[in-house]
Amino acid sequence: MATSNISVIVQARGDFLSITAYEKEVFEFIKKSGETQVSNLPKMMWGAIPNLKNANLVKTYKKTIIPWATKKHTFVEAILK
Q: What is the pTM of this model?
A: 0.75
pLDDT tens for 6-45 read 655 555 555 556 789 999 999 999 999 999 999 999 999 9
Phi, psi of 69 (to 5 degrees): -90, 150
H/E stretch holding 29 reads helix 21-33
**Among the four given CATH numbers 3.30.710, 1.10.3470, 1.10.10, 3.40.50, the one describing domain 2-78:** 1.10.10
Q: How far apart are CA 16 and CA 9, in angstroms?
A: 10
pLDDT tens for 49-66 read 999 999 999 999 999 999
Q: At a CB cut-off of 8 Å and minimum separation 6, what does 14 contact?
A: none
Q: How far apart are CA 6 and CA 67, in angstroms?
A: 36
